[in-house]
Amino acid sequence: MQRLCPKSPKVSSPAEIIADNEDLLRQILLCVPALSLVCFKCVSRDWLSLISSPKFCDVHTLQNPNSKVSGFFFHSSITSKPDLEFISLRNNESPSGPLIKPLDFIPESTKLKILQSCKGLLLCFSMATRKYCVVNPTISQFMELPPAYDANKSTGSCIVGVALAFDPSKSPHYKVVCVIQHRKYYQAVLYSSETRTWKVQESAESTWPFGINYKHGVYCNGGIYWISYRSDQLSRYDIDEGHHGLVSSPSGHDLFPEREFRYFGESSGHLHLIDIYKSCLTKFDVMEMGKDYSGWFVKYRVDLSPISTVFPEMVRDHLHLSIYDCYTLCVVFLAREENEENSSLLLHIPDKVISYNLSDKTVKKLHDLIPKGTETMGSLQVGWGDAYHYMETLARV
């Protein structure tokens, strides 16, 4: 009589064990960068459902609040080119490769104007619909905001600025501040993505000064900051407290009226300002706001003169200035790291994007904006207020 051997139980591989355990898989995927997760949606329907779920997106946003800047958008001033451009700063992509268009998922994206970038989200204005919207390019989502106020009931009033506040280390939800100018005072209206409604904040005529550029808001540590056109005034709106006031402004503009600011932004929880002498574009200080917001101090002293021999196009003959020379050197953004060795400036010079290390003073070319041999005077100029950094996030809009 033939003796039958019992079948050995099938031994599952580690990958199969993880795939069959949804809780374990979720914990692993929460540690994966946002852009990789977007690609992982194609693995299976189960993975698509898990990664796309609102709960997973919110938890991933909270656990990954400090994504690195991986690219930037900018509005070109040259009409022969598309108005909105994007450059990736990923190391595995060719620095001279074609520019990609990650906002094509938005209807009539060519008529979209970016107003602000904040921790991976973009605040935009659609010239086609005349509406404001919040966009997440990583997951190809956008949300049109309802009107902030009824213009028919507010005779003589107008919107002078809209700003985005998003801090993924505190909440997966964002807020939008709309500054409305009435005849004799300003008023703030606050939108919450959690409630999907606008709320009128208390207006205080004395705390909202005129002369502030409310079109360019910067979010930092719970507040929206606006700077005056001459950078001699700085105002702050506290998101949680709902009040507005002036904070310490940079000094020296009355003594040196030829100074003008070229950058105002946030990096790693620090507020920065760069202003220059109009007669010397290559030497300037990077100012940083103190932690108690009582004043500014010099964080970095920058001298680009040594590298101007490598990139002579960053310095032009001031006896033959053209309309384009005001943008000969543009600070796209400042990457401030707690490890000072990694802090850098991303600069735009005619037809190129370069990175300047603030520690070892080295420079690296990141991207050729124009194919070699086709450069033209004033081609693809970018002003500081027209460049917006991009970070990857799963935050829902």
Task: Please give the average per-residue pLDDT across 314-326, as a whole number.
Answer: 46
Instruction: State percent of the chain over pLDDT 90.
Output: 24
111 vs 319, higher pLDDT: 111
Q: Mean pLDDT lowest for which of 169-178, 277-286, 380-389?
A: 380-389
Q: Is residue 315 scored above 70 in pLDDT?
A: no
- The structure tokens listed for 236 are 């702050």
Q: Is residue 316 scored above 60 in pLDDT?
A: no
Mean pLDDT of the chain: 78
- The structure tokens listed for 379 are 């081609």
Highest mean pLDDT: which of 177-191, 267-281, 332-346?
177-191
Cβ(222)–Cβ(167) below 8 Å: yes
Highest mean pLDDT: which of 138-142, 148-152, 257-261, 351-355?
138-142
Largest CA distance in the chain: 108
Q: Tell me how far apart the alpha carbons of residues 394 and 386 are, in angstroms, rounded to a whole number.
A: 25
119 vs 369, higher pLDDT: 119
DSSP single-letter state for residue 2: P
Cβ(227)–Cβ(289) below 8 Å: no
Cβ(140)–Cβ(149) below 8 Å: no
Q: Could you tell me the pLDDT band of residue 54, with boundaries at 50, 70 and 90?
A: very high
Q: Could you tell me the pLDDT band of residue 321, with boundaries at 50, 70 and 90?
A: very low
Q: pLDDT value at position 322?
A: 42
pLDDT tens string 152-165: 455 678 888 999 99
Q: Mean pLDDT lowest for which of 194-198, 288-292, 315-319, 352-356?
A: 315-319
137 vs 365, higher pLDDT: 137
| Domains observed in the chain | 14-52 (no CATH), 57-391 (2.120.10.30)
Q: Tell me how far apart the alpha carbons of residues 266 and 283 are, in angstroms, rounded to a whole number.
A: 21
Q: Are strands 280-289 and 296-303 parallel, antiparallel or unpaired?
A: antiparallel
For residue 185, the tally of other CB atoms under 10 A from its CB is 13
pLDDT tens string 102-133: 788 888 887 889 999 999 999 999 988 999 99
Q: pLDDT value at position 259?
A: 65
pLDDT tens string 152-209: 455 678 888 999 999 999 999 999 999 988 877 788 899 999 999 998 876 555 567 7
Q: Is residue 247 scored above 60 in pLDDT?
A: yes
Q: Could you tell me the pLDDT band of residue 3, with boundaries at 50, 70 and 90?
A: low
90 vs 289, higher pLDDT: 289
Q: Mean pLDDT lowest for which of 99-113, 301-315, 371-385?
A: 371-385
Q: Could you tell me the pLDDT band of residue 224, with boundaries at 50, 70 and 90?
A: very high
Q: Tell me how far apart the alpha carbons of residues 73 and 85 are, in angstroms, rounded to a whole number.
A: 6
Q: Could you tell me the pLDDT band of residue 296, with boundaries at 50, 70 and 90?
A: confident
Q: Mean pLDDT lowest for which of 66-75, 223-232, 368-377, 381-390?
A: 368-377
- The structure tokens listed for 1 are 């009589």
Q: pLDDT value at position 59?
A: 95
Q: pLDDT value at position 355?
A: 86
Q: Is residue 73 scored above 80 in pLDDT?
A: yes
Q: pLDDT value at position 284?
A: 84
